[in-house]
Homo-oligomer: A and B are copies of this chain.
């Protein structure tokens, strides 16, 4: 209730305005003039120009020649995010693959490396992959701004993975830096949900479901990622389908993963790899998934579910059973249809989201980046 009586410091005003200008340019579909930035932000033209000059010098913005125009007057140069400035290095480790992804500030994926094979033995391969991706980025003239790692498990502050059951990790400390760069460690479904949100095609609230060997969810409510009290929300892989069902790796019985996880789906379909699944009967997995999604909808009242990971390409085969179960179990299904969508980024959503988390850090705090950049 107490009104703030602290004077706003000049440096924090500048930091705020730098972010305002950078985000205004980043959110504009087309190159945007300094005058248009001034109009959109309410800042004076002189202030905008000074800030833009700093952002250009710090490799965050670039000025492009205007398109020729037939009307009177010299057309203004347009601003857009720099394609050759900072890049986010996204990493993902999962049970049977690892991936790295370099994304520049325009959102373009510059490099994307995937290696399949069992990842449960160690993290050396991941580190090597990260080094390779970083070298590729820097050979392009990009500056690797930071690293983010998507993990299929529960992550706490300080880069500690409490538990990633399917990787067999428990209390694994990855720390806050990797290779001299700031490191973010986050749950893979959270990062994937954020990258699906960034496509701009989804409503303000939705639940992203990541189907891999484990199953996780990223919950976006009113435009923001809902992390939970300790950052451990969205563990839908361990919602029971049948409390007396098969034993799960987590120690409980009948968890969703035992019906709709990748291994369970392959076993039920009698095929060896995910590539063989299209065309198989996936109704049992779809029913289990639909039962749990009905629970998610009854609890959270969201009307959009995005299916990612291996579920994205399998949605046509899964949809009938999922929809039947939602129709049967969601109390409100009769009044309001539930939209089931395949993830736009498919299995790449998590690693893309990891790179995006690094870039989001710059968009939210360009002053911090400029400070680091100046001392390079």
User: Could you list which residues of chain A lie within 8 angstroms of chain B, going by C-beta atoms?
Assistant: 1-5, 20, 23-24, 27, 40-43, 154, 162-163, 165, 203, 205, 217, 219, 221, 226-236, 238-244, 250-252, 291, 294-296, 298-303, 328-329, 331-332, 335-336
CB contact between A329 and one of B1, B221, B238, B332 (< 8 Å): that residue? B238
Establish whether residues B2 and A298, one from each chain, have CB atoms under 8 Å apart when the complex forms: no
- Each complex incorporates copies of this chain amounting to 2
Find out whether the CB atom of A303 lies under 8 angstroms from the CB atom of B235: no
Task: Identify 27 residue pairs between A and B in the complex whose beta-carbon atoms are under 8 Å apart, listed by A's number.
Answer: A1-B23, A3-B42, A154-B331, A163-B332, A203-B229, A219-B299, A228-B301, A231-B301, A232-B301, A232-B331, A233-B300, A234-B299, A234-B301, A235-B298, A235-B331, A238-B331, A239-B295, A239-B298, A240-B295, A240-B329, A241-B243, A242-B242, A252-B328, A295-B295, A295-B299, A299-B299, A299-B300
Which chain B residue lies CB-closest to A3?
B42
Query: Of A4, A205, A230, A243, which is in contact with the most chain B CB atoms at under 10 Å from its CB?
Result: A243
Given pairs A1-B27, A2-B42, 13 additional interface contacts (CB within 8 A): A3-B43, A5-B42, A154-B332, A205-B229, A221-B221, A229-B302, A232-B332, A235-B299, A236-B298, A238-B329, A239-B298, A251-B328, A299-B300
Alpha-carbon distance between A353 and B124 when the two chains are bound, in angstroms: 56
